[in-house]
Amino acid sequence: MANTQRPHGVTSGRLDALRFLLELPKPKLGRLPRFALIAAVIALTAGASGRPALAADPAPDGRWVSSWHGSPTPGGTFNSQDCPSDVGLAGQTVRNIVRLSAGGSSVRVRISNAGGSEPLKVGAASVAASTGGAATVAGTSKPLRFAGQASIVIAAGGEAVSDPVALNVQPLQTLAVNIYLPAKTGPATQHYFASQDNFLAAGDQTRAGADKQFTRKVSCWMFLSGVDVKAAPNVVGTLIALGDSITDGYLSTKNNNQRYPDFLAQRLASRKGQTLSVVNAGIIGNELLTVRPQLQFGYPVPARLARDVLTQPGARAVILLAGINDIGDRSAKAADLIPVVQQIIQSARAAGLKIYGGTLVPFTGSTGTYKGDYGTAKGEQERQKLNAWIRTSGAFDGVVDFDKALRDPSDPSRLLPAYDADKLHPNDAGYQAMANAVNLDAIIADVVKATSP
């Protein structure tokens, strides 16, 4: 059956690398988190070719790609009423609303216990086409199975992949993914900033089509980490946007899919011929170096790289936009960030991915809101140093100059007013400008060349 619980086994040729990972210095706030450690193990599960574990070669009728992803974090929240991830669920169904980037003939769902410290019992799950809000299209609901079973227990730190279900979905279509949690979950694995209303109902409502049972809105995605599709042969792989709140779409219009990867999805869906799916691996508050006290900010990029990028189904390319929080929150030096980025590049290439560096966007004026070295002269100096290295080092397979796309020509240290939400984050127009700055022709050409016999 197609059921998958990760991590997979580790090949003998990578045991030395595993021993090295297990000896890494512990994070500043304590021991290496369980799901960060498991992610390190996952990084070693690619086959001898260096290809991601779930990124199978295409059959004549297409390949599996990741069509939606929400990078999982442990249960932490700023407001338990809006997102009860700190206390979790019990005897409830969560209806997660997600928009796919690529269409296909079959769907499979990834349910995550990555942030959990105890096994997670999933009583039932289903997927259906959404009509908006909590309502679904009549006749589209499909129960999900795991090795043929309706329920599954997911290991602490783990993830379960459902059996495929036949469901024709279109690019940019919205789905409702229902997960019933019959017992107390404890703190819930989540993606905290969804910019999307999701819904809770009492009891098992995985078969419910109407929205009347789903009486509570929540602002986070809960227990859902991905939706994969069996895409047409012209979809040559998955592009992952990796980063922090700017990738996550903070301050974009809620329920309207205005994040920069959403605009990329629109561009990719409109292409003729070869194209890619695209998924969002951004997490608000995320950093390259530090485990921040707020659990919802997740673990640093290197600690989550395997789970969020390297083993994404069909993974072929990644755009990295990270470092602004290290500079602003921790007064990090570009000289300390560059070696971390180099290690990320090395890991991506070892897994067979192309990797593109995004320059950090302007942030002068943001210190009043975010404090620290956000937008200070000192922070700006480090931003410029890191951007200069991204542009000129030749370390990446290409550069996406987000800084150039968003800056004010009259004051390049600031966002152009037409693109500015809060002096640090773009608004919807700014996120669209970011997507427009990505050279999709070049990325797709690189991917096709790299995967050609």
**Range from 45-54, 123-132, 293-302, 412-421 carrying the lowest mean pLDDT:** 45-54
CB-based burial, 368-405: b 16+ in 10 Å, e otherwise: eebebbbbbeebbebbbbbbebbeeeeebbebbbbbbb
The total of other beta-carbon atoms located within 10 Å of residue 204's CB is: 17
pLDDT in the model for residue 452: 85
The band of 62, judged by pLDDT with boundaries at 50, 70 and 90, is: confident
Question: What 3-state DSSP class applies to 414?
Answer: strand
Residue range 417-442: mean pLDDT, rounded: 98
The per-residue pLDDT for range 248-294, each reduced to its tens digit, is 999 999 999 999 999 999 999 999 999 999 999 999 999 999 999 99
Cα(380)–Cα(358) distance, integer angstroms: 16
The band of 453, judged by pLDDT with boundaries at 50, 70 and 90, is: confident
The band of 209, judged by pLDDT with boundaries at 50, 70 and 90, is: confident
Element (H, E) at 42: helix 34-42
Q: Which of 121 and 6 is assigned the larger pLDDT? A: 121
The per-residue pLDDT for range 339-354, each reduced to its tens digit, is 999 999 999 999 999 9
The per-residue pLDDT for range 67-123, each reduced to its tens digit, is 999 999 999 999 999 999 999 999 999 999 999 999 999 999 999 999 999 999 999
The string of DSSP codes covering 174-191 is EEEEEEEE-S---SPPEE
Question: Measured between alpha carbons, how far is residue 103 from residues 265, 269, 358 in Å?
Answer: 11, 9, 27
Mean pLDDT (the chain, rounded): 90
* Whether 389 contacts 396, CB under 8 Å: no
The per-residue pLDDT for range 44-53, each reduced to its tens digit, is 443 333 334 3
pLDDT in the model for residue 124: 98
pLDDT in the model for residue 210: 79
The region, left, alpha or beta by phi > 0 then psi within -120 to 50, assigned to residue 308 is: alpha
pLDDT in the model for residue 1: 38
pLDDT in the model for residue 306: 98
Element (H, E) at 247: helix 245-248
pLDDT in the model for residue 60: 65
The per-residue pLDDT for range 305-321, each reduced to its tens digit, is 999 999 999 999 999 99
The per-residue pLDDT for range 148-206, each reduced to its tens digit, is 999 999 999 999 999 999 999 999 999 999 999 999 999 999 999 999 999 999 999 99
HSE at residue 290, side-chain half, CA atoms within 13 A, is: 15
Q: What is the CATH number of domain 231-451?
A: 3.40.50.1110
pLDDT in the model for residue 404: 98
Q: Which residue has the tokens 């990270």?
A: 322
DSSP state of 73: B
The rounded percent of the chain whose pLDDT value lies above 70 is 87
Element (H, E) at 202: strand 198-202
* Whether 52 contacts 311, CB under 8 Å: yes
Cα(318)–Cα(237) distance, integer angstroms: 11
Residue range 350-373: mean pLDDT, rounded: 98
Is the overall model pTM greater than 0.95, yes or no? no
Q: Which of 342 and 5 is assigned the larger pLDDT? A: 342
pLDDT in the model for residue 59: 57
pLDDT in the model for residue 14: 32
* Whether 280 contacts 222, CB under 8 Å: no
